[in-house]
Structure 1
Amino acid sequence: MKFVDEVTIKVAAGDGGNGCVSFRREKYIPKGGPDGGDGGKGGSVWLQADEGLNTLADFRHTRHFKARRGENGMGRQCSGAKGEDIVVMVPIGTLVYDRETGEQLGDLLEHGQQLLVAQGGRGGLGNIHFKSSVNRAPRRATSGTEGERRELKMELKLLADVGLLGMPNAGKSTLIRAVSAARPKVADYPFTTLYPNLGVVSVGAGRSFVVADVPGVIEGAAEGAGLGVRFLKHLSRTRLILHLVDALPLDESVSPAEQVRKIADELRRFSPELAERERWLVVNKLDLLPESERQSHVDALCAELGWQGPVYAVSALSGEGTERLSQDVMTRLEAMWAEEEEQGRNERTEQ
């Protein structure tokens, strides 16, 4: 079981090529003078955000990236060829750190955005640069400089509008299948979801949002239990959290209300700020209850929790209640976006 929203890779830019010591030797030109060319610049390593990726899973197999060295200079004032750059594709939302210093190098938020992570070495100078009135035949050239070498820590935080939070087997993957075109793996055992899944929920022409199916959180996750805080980190960029709870949990020793409290406690311990984010309660798997008992079951759960926020009762498997939930989420997000736009305009006006 290996989760790869955090990964360490090594990058090495190419060294610069060496300068050349050469003299012009042509018939009838007895004093041709120096004509050694410069070395080529080493290739650099870039990271580029790609909207077609949503995990760092590919880096399980390839963790070393090295750009090509610049070619050495040549006679007749010919410079060496520049080493070819390497462009490494990463998901949108990737944070990049220098592992040795802890410095954040960049945050790739838009498709096509690039970040230089290792600069290629400079090419050395050929002997033509050292010609002077007192040194007509310089035999001096410089070597190319070394390219940068770095160990990078990359961390992915999903760029989703809505995050699904809940215990393993709460039905998050099934819900994302019900409301979007995403098809995450679904099964009746804990931790079916090992990698976060993104789905685009469309509720009409020009109206859509992105939902993240975050792997299940267990008690002690804030301290690293289970798959740890990596999953909780994925919620940090979402505007709205849907807290899913199983109406009839497989573990009957823990009531639905206790499950909600445990997850809410993990959220507070991980990030008090995140715990204050708007959170809606979604009671899932109502198809397992007789229709006559469903509303009373939801009412009892809310009363036990003292829940004051929005509550939705759905069956992700049958799709019951999911359309209304999607429409209401879309309406709330549109209001949030409008508020953010208005706030941005006010800040620009004040400046």
Structure 2
Amino acid sequence: MEKYIAQGPPNGGDGGTGGNVYIQAIRGETSLHKLARRGILKAERGRNGQGRLRGGSRGEDLLVQVPVGTVVREISRYDPLAEEEAQDRRNKGYGRDLEDNDSDFEDDGRSVTDQTRKWRRDRWLLYPGSLPKSFSSADFPALPRPRRSNLVATEPPAPIRLDLSEPMDRPLLLAAGAMGGLGNPHFVTKSIPRPKYATKGEEGTRIEFRFELKLLADVGLVGLPNAGKSTLLRALTRSRTRVGDWAFTTLAPNVGTVVLDNHARRPSTSLQSQRARQEGREPRTNFTIADIPGLIQDAHLDKGLGLGFLRHIERAAVLAFVVDLSAEEDAVMALKGLWKEVGEYEKLREQETNAATQRAQPDEDGMVAFQPFESSISPGMDPEPLMKGEGDNVLDPVAGRKLPELSLPPISSKPWFVVATKADVEGTQEKFRDLQKYLRQVQEGEVEHPSGKENGWKKQVAAVPVSAINKAGVQGIPELIVTLLND
């Protein structure tokens, strides 16, 4: 209140704007498990306005950091402002005949929209000292029109489709915060010089996203059930995966991280670090390993959940085939059996890709041939987009803004090596020598690539004998993996 004036003018400040939601792809992140555990992510709400015309502080922004190679797809969106704006257009009678315009106004000259806004009592706040009955007796003015933050113009167009294949220097805005409420000075009139009401802030936008990693891990462990993959993962990382003497101990991929630098502020002396500095890039400090569930014969026919397991192999940059030297089956035959399943799965994927490319593509006007029950974005992942049109052609509303399906390199073209486990068992030396001989023949082109592909990767095929349970022989695996990752 002003000095010497019993009841001064209204001085309630406006509410603070809500926080924004940003996304950024960085190299330090290796998985999406943290986001999955958090579930719903929210930016902070704005603070309430205060007396003496002091506005509320804005809410704290939310930064979502994801690994490089993350694909972001919008599943659904709820924008209350968009719905309110659409309702206003309906109340104004957009699309009606011009001769009906007179019906959009009351006798006192106020529009139907203003009358509708007047009765939105849920959007108003009364002075803290007011009684509850004041809500029914107060004569509220027309509710102000919805307000949006200017940052909305910098949001990606909806539906959001992002392919974050490179590290980002700056975060990208996903959703701007909602505007805060208006204080009582905004509603001063000649008849009401001291209004005791204010508006609530706008409701924020809610968006549901699907985050998907192009690469599940840097390295994927591929092998038969009970070949020692989980034990090897525990020997290389601090992962505490379940280990047992029965098949199918692992039913879902377990991801562990191998730290190459102890971060003790000492320069790394490894060969890969020296080579990285010579090439002018940052040396790699860690990499991730995925323990992929075991494959059985005819896994490409979905036996033993084989197709689900084989899909994870596509998401690894380097493949490590784990063979058991102590098994009755020859190590070379075991390796060929694993590659057979991988090769057959690759053929299935090629057939799906060829079938997809043969479908009609949208022309410059966004016209596509009508295909009922077909998703135009990504089958099985995105909802069917709304389309409008006549005849056999329909108009694709997201033509030109659709994100193509994940483009992954052929499995046979990825670097790979062999880890021969249980090499400490007596009588396994001869099996390992036969395995080395076979890999040398593959590398020199004397025998066919185990996948059956002419362009299969065979640049530097190696076999490493280990005893994972004793952590013997595993010391050289990280250096080999980093070499393959950098190449």
Identify which of 250, 265, 276 aligns with 1:192.
250
Equivalent position amino acid for 2:423 in 1: L
Whether the 8 Å CA contact 1:36–1:78 is kept in 2: the answer is yes
Which of 273, 289, 295 aligns to 1:212? It is: 289
Q: Distance in 2 between matches of 1:107 and 1:39?
A: 35
Q: Kindly indicate whether the alpha-carbon contact (under 8 Å) linking 2:258 and 2:287 is maintained by their aligned counterparts in 1.
A: yes
Does 2:398 match 1:274?
Answer: no
Listed as ranges, the gaps of 5+ residues in structure 2 are 77-157, 262-267, 274-283, 350-407, 451-457
Within-5 A mapping of 1:53-68:
54=31, 56=33, 59-60=36-37, 62-68=38-44
Name the CA distance, whole Å, in 2 between partners of 1:201 and 1:264.
32
Instruction: Identify the residue that residue 209 of structure 2 maps to in structure 1.
Output: 152
- Which letter does structure 2 place at the counterpart of 1:259? L
State the match for 1:39 in structure 2: 15
1:294: which partner in 2? 431
Counting aligned pairs with the same residue, the percent is 29
Higher strand share: 1
CA distance in 2, matches of 1:47, 1:56: 16
Q: Report if aligned partners of 2:342, 2:411 keep a CA contact under 8 Å in 1.
A: no
Give the drift of 1:169. 2.7
Partner of 1:6: none
When Rg is computed on C-alpha atoms for both structures, the one with the higher figure is 2
The equivalences for 1:175-254 within 5 A come to 175-178=232-235, 180-185=236-241, 186-189=243-246, 190-192=248-250, 194=252, 195-201=254-260, 205-206=269-270, 207=273, 210-218=287-295, 220=299, 226=305, 229=308, 232-233=311-312, 235-236=314-315, 238=317, 240-249=318-327
Q: CA deviation at 1:85?
A: 4.4
Kindly provide the CA deviation profile for residues 205-250 of structure 1, in whole angstroms up to 9, marking residues without a partner as x.
2446524133225354797973854774575362x32222334558
Q: Could you say if the C-alpha distance between residues 183 and 142 of structure 1 is closer, same or farther in structure 2, counting changes exceeding 3 Å?
A: closer
Partner Cα distance (1:228, 1:102) in 2: 30
Structure 1 position 166, deviation (Å)? 2.9
Report the counterpart of residue 342 of structure 2 in structure 1.
263
Q: Does the 8 Å contact 1:158/1:212 carry over to 2?
A: no
Shift of 1:268: 5.0
Question: Is the contact between residue 30 and residue 288 of structure 2 (CA under 8 Å) also seen in structure 1?
Answer: no
- Counterpart residue identity of residue 226, structure 1: L
Point out the more displaced range, 44-53 or 155-164: 44-53
Q: Is the 8 Å Cα contact of residues 31 and 216 (structure 2) preserved in structure 1?
A: no
User: What SS does structure 1 have at the residue aligned with 2:232?
Assistant: helix
Alignment of 1:62-101 (within 5 A): 62-86=38-62, 94-100=70-76
Q: Give SS of 2:4's match.
A: coil
Report if aligned partners of 1:160, 1:198 keep a CA contact under 8 Å in 2.
Answer: no
Gaps of 5+ in 1: 1-24, 337-351
Task: From the superposition, tell whether residues 268 and 108 of structure 1 become closer, same or farther in structure 2 (CA, over 3 Å).
Answer: same
Change (3 A) 1:29 1:50: farther
Q: Deviations over 1:164-183 (max 9, x none)?
A: 333333323333444x3434
* Aligned counterpart in structure 2 of residue 126 of structure 1, from 183, 186, 207: 183
Output the CA distance in 2 between the equivalents of 1:153 and 1:74.
39
1:127-185 CA-to-partner distances (Å, cap 9, x unmatched) read: 545679x899485965422111122223345575443333333323333444x343442
**Closer, same or farther in 2 for the Cα pair 1:222/1:161, shift >3 Å?**
farther
Q: Which amino acid counterpart does residue 181 of structure 2 have in structure 1?
A: G
Matched positions, count: 305
Q: CA deviation at 1:122?
A: 0.6
Q: In structure 2, what is the equivalent of residue 312 of structure 1?
A: 463
CA distance in 1, matches of 2:326, 2:159: 45
- Give the direction of change, closer, same or farther, for the CA distance of 1:264–1:135 in structure 2 (3 Å limit): farther
Check whether the contact 2:222–2:321 (CA below 8 A) recurs between aligned residues: yes
Question: Does the 8 Å CA contact 1:105/1:117 hold for their aligned counterparts?
Answer: no
- Equivalent residues of 2:71, 2:163 under 8 A apart: yes
Map Cα deviations across residues 288-313 of structure 1 (whole Å, 9 max, x no partner). Answer: 46155224542686689834731414
More displaced stretch, 254-263 vs 103-112: 103-112
